[in-house]
Structure 1
Amino acid sequence: MSTPPPADPARLASGTEGPHALRPLLDTVLDALDTGRRARGGPLPAGGPEAVAARMRDAAGEILPDRGDPDALRALVHALAEGAADPADPLCAAHLHCPPLAAAAAADLAVSILNPSLDSWDQAPAASELEALVTRELAHAAGLADAVVTTGGTESNQLALLLARENHGGGIRLVHGANAHHSLPRAAWLLGLPEPVVVPAPSGTIDLAALHSALTDLAGPRGSLLVAATAGTTDAGLVDPLPEIAGLCAAHGARLHIDAAHGGGLLFSDRHRDKLTGIEAAHTVTLDLHKLGWQPVAAGLLAVRHPRDLAVLHQRADYLNADDDTEAGLPDLLGRSLRTTRRPDILKIAVTLKALGRSGLGALVDTVCARARELADLIHAHPGFELYDRPTISTVLFRPTGATDEAVAAVRRRLLSEGRAVLGRARLDDRLWLKATLLNPETRPDDLAALLKLVEGSTPQ
């Protein structure tokens, strides 16, 4: 067996010598990730923005030197890891920011090495077929017909509005709850649609009577209204009453989009899937597997009930999908995305689905939901904390008993600055709450107790 050549950052990652070029570099990366994690010592780097920025500037040094630095890979990976918010740390629980599965990350490495681009079949022959297989399977899991891959919920929501506008032939009005993700009104603005109609959500979910009233007042041609419901709100993980909303849309001839970027992963769980009952009635559904799917970013999809709706994305570029090529049987990929160059993010998803199966993914979903209920129980039993409500998915809102909003915000920022815990914030019922979003299936009950102890110790008495 020949001795592999020394690490050389100028060698190609693919080709016959690719494995020899990569192996020593991968060892460097893994070692630097570990030393960076240990240097960080917690879920977040201590010192706040200025200290973190200063450490990164020191590590980066001269970004474009005259001569290359052979230590660049180790130094910058170490600095990035030392300055990271680590979603694999049980005390990092602020956002819908999951720790990725090792199998998914490994698959992502393969994509980076092969570097296919899904804008023409001759750049990604196998990947284009894999994407077609997996997107259909995931769409069927939601009761729909097909899906396209996106960068996440924001792109999916924008694409849903675009499909609604183009398939209706012009004027369409978005109706969404006050609990909707900010990307929906932003998408309406980007697409030149009228100002959206915002329906109250006083309990955190859409008020059905108010929605009925709005649809009645806005009565117009069939399909001229697009109602956006949410399955897993960003603030509290709540699910709108989907069957009832679907019924109102049917009665008023409105199109229905469901933003399930957060809650879509419940489809894998036999225990929690019924929370998404009614999702199959939607015309479009946003799914996001870099949340309750444990994928490296990005891993979004937009599922559609009618594949013909996607025809509006069709474009022609002779160098990518010439008529004679498509007539000869070469697949046309330009109608599968708003993007041209795009990597096959579907591989990591496919590996995860096949390696874990529905039961394996469902078990991960069940675990984080159970941890959230356990945290809620601890908060409810603690006289020093107030619980907002029982968790619907895996988000728990709480606050120190009797604290002002200013004190709640200060507790969160103190923990961030010290690098001891990463909690989010949410404003509901005109009060500020601390938000714990539990997406780490390896979190233990004692981690939950430690989190509350940190919050308690950082709260002014």
Structure 2
Amino acid sequence: MCTVPALRAALPQPPPLGLPIPGARALVRPPRPPTPAPPGDPVPPTAPAADPFLRETTADAYVAAMSAAVDVLSRSVRGARRPHTGAPQQELQALVDAVDLDAPLGDTPAALEELSRVWLDHAVWFHAPGYVAHLNCPVALPALAADLLASAVNTSMDTYDQSRVATLLERRLLDWAAERAGLGPGARGVFTSGGTQSNTHALLLAREAALAARGLARPDELLPGRLRVLASDQAHFSVTRAARLLGLGADAVVRVPTDARHRLDPAALARVADDARAAGDVVAAVVATAGTTDLGRVDPLAAVADVCDERGLWLHVDAAYGGGLLVSRRRRHLLDGVERASSVTVDFHKTFFQPVASSAVLVRDGAAMDLVAHHAAYLNPREEGVPNHVDTSLQTTRRFDAVKLWLTLRVLGADAVGDAVDACVDLAADVAEDLARQPDVELHSAPELSTVVFRLRPLVAGPDGAPTPVDEGTADALVGGVRDRLAADGAAVVARTVLDGRPWLKMTFLDPATTRADVADVLRLVREAGEDLLAPLPAPVAAAAGSAA
């Protein structure tokens, strides 16, 4: 059984630099110049291989190419102590434009060095301690090893004859995930490119189920009634996009009020669902969220399931963010009720620390997957009798991304992944407590997962000389200004959002190695940016506590 330290050891981390703040890692330094060649004998240029494709006769050339790539990558990872260099877009565009794609270098090491200058030197590194912006995670080393295998073998997951045991491995993983969610032995699913595709797939099934139950083939056959999707204003934007793609229209999504914690309100859901039925509409699906994008809220799934069960409604749970709670040993209860969902989205490339892309849609009644089945004579004839994922997947050619999660579980184990999720949530709670004590910071609310939403309210000298927080309008303006300044510099990256009509800064923690001292350094940069933006106003008054450490 692995624990958080075991997973931390398996995630790439920059070396500590012994800064004055104990445990902190450097965030501010000049942009890295182009990386010099590594010490020692350089890899001699080689002529292009007579056969540049992977096969039994080019295995040695493959090893040489991968070794050169690993050398370049490891050099970049060791030097990545900030999220990015801060180089302006014009400079980056010039680097890209300078490459003549019609003049090949004919040498893999040389091309890798060029790629390092153009991309890796200016990449965005999610493992850097200053990166706290979006739902991006450092990736588990076993998953990277599996990713290499998936690329080399190049399995296509659409049909059994192109994948064979890979299809069986993927199905075993889907069964495992469905079991963790409590969906029962009849559940099925499929891996997808991400939460947007998983949500779209689930709503497609819900649409088809609603039409089939009424003996209809197309949504317009319901006229003058319409198919409706019920979701809160905190649901992911992909719900509205899916409604448009599915021919329902963006206005088919009816917003359900939320409670004081910005969670879907079950009582309001019941009213909205009943009103839709009274108007002659058909509720195709209710979307609940387990980990909203802005606040990380988990809707009351059990109470929402009660409303859906009483009315025979399809319940989709978007657990793209909160899916990691499935393997948490301390917070699995936050997903109580998910086992009653008709479908569930889980993004493994978020809280399972997998490389992009790795997501899945799980369906409690596996037979519902067949509502969108399609059979092509040349590819997956109906009578073939073997497991072909293309029968029900929205993709045809599809990569073997499931193998990354497979190897992660076989090396680290589910408990270690869950402990890492818990470490991120613990950090968010600690940071929120620290921020609540800061006189120049406004905390939106206590976090539920690993997202902290806040904004600066610097203290300035008021008319009577007493320290006074800046007004709401100034605080609003600081949000965008601070975020943009940090993004332009590259030493730290935070996100911004709008809640209740006002802009806020947002930090999301998905690296179990991030410390409170790291966050304190980010907040120092936030304050410095705010002070610069406030320069025309009365001089800011130093906060009594200058950091969240």
- TM-score category (smaller protein): over 0.9
Q: 1:189 aligns with which of 244, 248, 265?
A: 244
Q: Cα gap change, 1:193/1:301 in structure 2, threshold over 3 Å: closer, same or farther?
A: same
Following superposition, the deviation at residue 304 of structure 1 comes to: 0.6
Give 3-state SS (helix, strand or coil) of 1:318's partner.
Answer: coil
Question: What amino acid sits opposite 2:256 in the alignment?
Answer: V
Following superposition, the deviation at residue 362 of structure 1 comes to: 1.2
Q: Cα gap change, 1:189/1:424 in structure 2, threshold over 3 Å: closer, same or farther?
A: same
Following superposition, the deviation at residue 407 of structure 1 comes to: 1.2
Q: Deviations over 1:209-240 (max 9, x none)?
A: 32121011112799743110111001111111
Alignment match, 1:45: 85
- Partner Cα separation in structure 2 for residue 265 and residue 249 of structure 1: 24
Q: 1:337 aligns with which of 393, 411, 416?
A: 393
- Partner Cα separation in structure 2 for residue 229 and residue 8 of structure 1: 57
Asked whether 1:358 is paired with 2:396, we answer no
Asked whether 1:369 is paired with 2:369, we answer no
- Partner Cα separation in structure 2 for residue 383 and residue 438 of structure 1: 23
CA contact (8 A) 2:198 2:345 kept: yes
Q: Deviations over 1:139-192 (max 9, x none)?
A: 111111222111111001111111011122254311111111000011011111
- Partner Cα separation in structure 1 for residue 514 and residue 52 of structure 2: 39
- Partner Cα separation in structure 2 for residue 196 and residue 66 of structure 1: 50
- Partner Cα separation in structure 1 for residue 158 and residue 453 of structure 2: 43
Q: 2:487 aligns with which of 416, 420, 431?
A: 416
Alignment match, 2:503: 432
CA contact (8 A) 2:358 2:402 kept: yes
Q: 2:151 aligns with which of 95, 112, 115?
A: 112
Q: 1:454 aligns with which of 520, 525, 536?
A: 525
Q: 1:205 aligns with which of 259, 263, 277?
A: 263
Q: 1:378 aligns with which of 418, 434, 437?
A: 434
CA contact (8 A) 2:285 2:315 kept: yes
Matched pairs, number: 453
- Partner Cα separation in structure 2 for residue 80 and residue 209 of structure 1: 51
User: Which entry has the higher C-alpha Rg, 1 or 2?
Assistant: 2
Alignment match, 1:150: 192
- Partner Cα separation in structure 2 for residue 237 and residue 223 of structure 1: 30
Compute the TM-score of the two structures, normalised by the length of structure 1.
Answer: 0.92
- Partner Cα separation in structure 1 for residue 329 and residue 373 of structure 2: 37
Following superposition, the deviation at residue 6 of structure 1 comes to: 7.5
CA RMSD of aligned residues (A): 2.3
Q: Cα gap change, 1:232/1:7 in structure 2, threshold over 3 Å: closer, same or farther?
A: farther
Following superposition, the deviation at residue 34 of structure 1 comes to: 4.2
Compute the TM-score of the two structures, normalised by the length of structure 2.
Answer: 0.78
Alignment match, 1:73: 112
Question: What amino acid sits opposite 1:24 in the alignment?
Answer: A
Q: Which runs of 5+ in 2 are unaligned?
A: 1-42, 220-226, 458-469, 532-539, 541-549
- Partner Cα separation in structure 2 for residue 282 and residue 307 of structure 1: 12
Q: Which runs of 5+ in 1 are unaligned?
A: none
Alignment match, 2:380: 321
Q: Cα gap change, 1:36/1:359 in structure 2, threshold over 3 Å: closer, same or farther?
A: closer
Q: 1:238 aligns with which of 289, 297, 301?
A: 297
- Partner Cα separation in structure 2 for residue 274 and residue 114 of structure 1: 39
1:7-22 maps to which residues of 2 (within 5 A)? 10=49, 11-12=51-52, 14-22=54-62
Alignment match, 1:441: 512
Overall identity of the aligned pairs, in %: 38
Question: What amino acid sits opposite 1:199 in the alignment?
Answer: V
CA contact (8 A) 1:408 1:432 kept: yes
Q: Deviations over 1:353-404 (max 9, x none)?
A: 2222221111111111111122212212222212111211111111112452
Following superposition, the deviation at residue 443 of structure 1 comes to: 1.1
- Partner Cα separation in structure 2 for residue 372 and residue 288 of structure 1: 20
Q: Cα gap change, 1:107/1:5 in structure 2, threshold over 3 Å: closer, same or farther?
A: farther
Q: 2:134 aligns with which of 83, 88, 95?
A: 95
1:151-166 maps to which residues of 2 (within 5 A)? 151-166=193-208
- Partner Cα separation in structure 1 for residue 90 and residue 77 of structure 2: 19
